[in-house]
Amino acid sequence: MPIHLETQSDLDDAVHALIKLDPRLQPIFALTGMPALRRREPGFAGLAHIVCGQQVSTASAAAIWGRVSAAFDPFDHDALRKARADRLGRLGLSAAKIKTLKNLAREIASERLNLDVLANEDADAAHNPLTALHGIGPWTADVYLLFCLGHGDAWPAGDIAIQEAVKVGLGLETRPTLKQMAPLGEPWRPLRGAAAHLWWSYYRVLKKREGVIAG
């Protein structure tokens, strides 16, 4: 049974266990303190929210999601599946994202995809049915598993912030690639999701340092 990060207490316990598991993380934790748990709504709405934010700025993602989520009451897969593409386009969604969301809605409506069961599957097994869908890449799948389902072993290996933090924190010469991030995360199983929270916190520390230096 996978470990779940449902509460801040869950994350606290997982981070302390990680530090015991890998002492290299102790100086990272000393700089970051305990990361704050990040959670989003599960189900279709949560995954749709992540899709809306793909390849756009944080501000643009928030604006698009605000329009899309407000346009449907309730916001669910059936509502979006039946919506006209031109209406979705006027809300700010690209043609590619409309195709992704409509395909996702059809998969859920046909019961070929059950997002609820993924929380209790092995992280790698849960990852595969998501990335098999059109427009759902590894990053989107892992962020959904981690933030929406609280999957304790989800590992967003393609996240550039985590890659940069790992590079600095582990003293690597270059930022690791997606392929290189897989073995780097192995020592942190089955708590790679907690490790991701820690590395995101460390990245924010690094950015603040750069700001001080730049100032």
CATH number, domain with residue 209: 1.10.1670.40
Total domain count for the chain? Answer: 2
Q: pTM of the entire structure?
A: 0.90
Burial of 108 (0-12, 13-18, 19+ CB in 10 A): buried
- Mean pLDDT value across residues 27-39: 96
Q: Is residue 1 domain-resident?
A: no
Q: How confident is the model at residue 122 (pLDDT cuts 50, 70, 90)?
A: confident
Give the residue, 213 or 28, on which the prediction is more confident.
28
Same domain, 51 and 138: yes
Least Cα distance to 158 among 55, 57, 59 occurs for: 55
Q: Are residues 56 and 125 in the same domain?
A: yes
Domain that includes residue 182, residue range: 8-38+154-214
Residues 120 and 138 in one domain: yes
The vertex-120 CA angle with 122 and 196, nearest 5°, equals 60
